[in-house]
Amino acid sequence: MKRRTFLKSTATLGLGLAVFPQIAFQDAPTSLPYNELIGKGHPELFGNGFKLRKEAYDAFLLMSKEALKSDIKLKVVSSYRSFAHQNRIWERKYKQNINNGLSPQDSLNKIIEYSTIPGTSRHHWATDLDLIDAHVAQPRNVLNPKHFDGSGCFSKFKSWMDTHANTFGFYLVYTNKKDRKGFKYEPWHYSYKPLSLGYLQAYQKLDLRDIIISEQLIGCDHFSEAFITNYGNQNILDINPELL
C-alpha cells in the first residue's frame, strides 16, 4: 500500500476555555515511538478502573465532576487497550465468525463494522474512551446505539455530552453522519482531541500495510490491497472531521 498524503487542518478549540482554562491543546507530537502508536509500548497511564494519559485523565475528571451536577455519572466501559488486548478481541471474533460458517472475507468485513484491526485502534493511544451513564438501570448490552437516542436509557447522557463534551476537549469519533463510511455509529466513543489529533497525524506517517502484515494477524492472508486501502481511508480516517 502506498503511503498517502492526507489534507488535514487543525481547528481552533473555541470551546469555553475561559470557563475551563485547564483544557487546552498540548503541543501535538509530530512523532511518537512506533510501539506506542500500535499499542505495544508502555505509556504512563492514570485512572482507577480505566487508563488514560495524564492530560486526558485530568480533563475527564473535570468533565465527570460537571456531569454529576446534572445527575449523570460518567462510567468508562473501555479506555486504553494494548495490542495484545485488541488481538484477543480480533481472534475471538474471527474464529467465532468462521465457526458460524462465514467465509474469511465475510468474517473480516463483519469484524470491522465495530472492532479495529490490532495495531490500528485509537484505544492504543490512551486518548479515547467508551462512556455510559452509571446512574440509570444498565441494559444487558450497554454499547448498543438504540440506548443513546430517542427514549433510550442513555439518551440524557448523550444529550449532555452533545452539549458539553467538546468544552472539555472530548469529541465523538464515529458519528451518525449519513454518508460516513468505516466503523458504524458509536455514540459512546469519545476522543480527547488535544492529544489524539497529534497522535493521528503521527500514525498517518506509518505504513498501514506493514503494520498489518508484519504482525501476522489471524486472517491476514485475506487482507487484499483494496481491503487495506479502504480500511485506512474509511475506518481510520472517515471520522468526525473535528478530529482531523
Please spell the DSSP secondary structure of 17-35, one letter per residue. TTT-TT-------S---HH
What integer pLDDT is reported at residue 4 of this predicted model? 40
The pLDDT of 4-27, averaged and rounded, is 37
Which residue segments constitute the domains of the chain, with CATH numbers given?
35-243 (3.30.1380.10)
Residue 60 has pLDDT above 70, yes or no: yes
Q: What is the mean pLDDT of the chain?
A: 89
**Does residue 242 contact residue 170 with C-beta atoms inside 8 Å?**
no
Taking the CA of residue 234 as centre, how many other CA atoms within 13 Å lie in the half-sphere pointing to its CB? 18
Cell numbers standing for residue 212: 498489518
Dist. CA 40–CA 62, nearest whole Å: 29
The pLDDT of 82-102, averaged and rounded, is 98
**Pairing mode of beta strands 189-192, 74-78:** unpaired
What integer pLDDT is reported at residue 140 of this predicted model? 94
Residue 114 has pLDDT above 60, yes or no: yes
What integer pLDDT is reported at residue 31 of this predicted model? 62
Does the pTM exceed 0.85?
yes
Q: What's the CA angle centered on 61, arms 33 and 88, to 5 degrees? A: 45
In the 8-state DSSP scheme, what is residue 131? E
